[in-house]
Amino acid sequence: MNAKMKCSNCGAEITNLTMTAGKRQWLWFAPLILVGFFPLFRMSFFKPDYTKDLSLVEIVQSSADRDIQITGKIQNSGTKTWGGITIDAEFYDSEGKFIDEETEYLRSDVRPKEGEYFKISFRPSTDRIREDGTKLVVKISSARADVF
């Protein structure tokens, strides 16, 4: 079956029909694209820097049997709430060579001008960590903030 279209004015048969949108009709789509890509653009290029806001204070290392426990506090001096914070505790010998490390993920958020305590429990595989001159380095390796 062939469908035929006729002009409603003159009754002539229409053989070629092209349906296109004009340039002005596509302009309504531009704001939607901008609004849609704005969050992606902001997350990619304007990431907040956790190193400016977060700091570690009150770091204490204690030993019990073979376990080592590291406690401390993360202090947020910025204006953003930080979450998904990962803390690394690295051990180096007296010559500065890497021995071992332990990572802790902080599940709670740290609000602006507040702090959050953490504890890292570590059972070392070697006794080299207990030797004199072993250096402990605790640092924040990652954190995320809501960009909105």
User: Domains, the chain, ranges and CATH?
Assistant: 5-45 (no CATH), 50-145 (2.60.40.10)
Phi, psi of 87 (to 5 degrees): -115, 130
Of residues 119 and 65, more confidence is placed in: 119
40: pLDDT strictly greater than 80: no
Query: How many residues are there in the chain?
Result: 148
3: pLDDT strictly greater than 70: no
130: pLDDT strictly greater than 90: no
**CA–CA distance, 87 with 139 (Å, rounded to integer):** 6
| For range 68-89, the mean pLDDT | 90
DSSP for 84-110, written as a single string: EEEEEEEEE-TTS-EEEEEEEEE-S-B
Burial degree of 14 (CB within 10 A; 0-12, 13-18, 19+): exposed
DSSP for 63-85, written as a single string: EETTEEEEEEEEEE-SSS-EEEE
Residue with tokens 């401390």: 72
Of residues 118 and 63, more confidence is placed in: 118
- Note whether 104 and 110 are within 8 A (CB): no
46: pLDDT strictly greater than 80: no
DSSP strand pairing (82-92 vs 135-145): antiparallel
**CA–CA distance, 49 with 30 (Å, rounded to integer):** 31
**Whether this model's pTM surpasses 0.95:** no
Instruction: Identify the pLDDT of residue 129.
Output: 77
Contacts of 29 (CB under 8 A, 6+ apart): none
| For range 89-104, the mean pLDDT | 89
Of residues 127 and 95, more confidence is placed in: 95
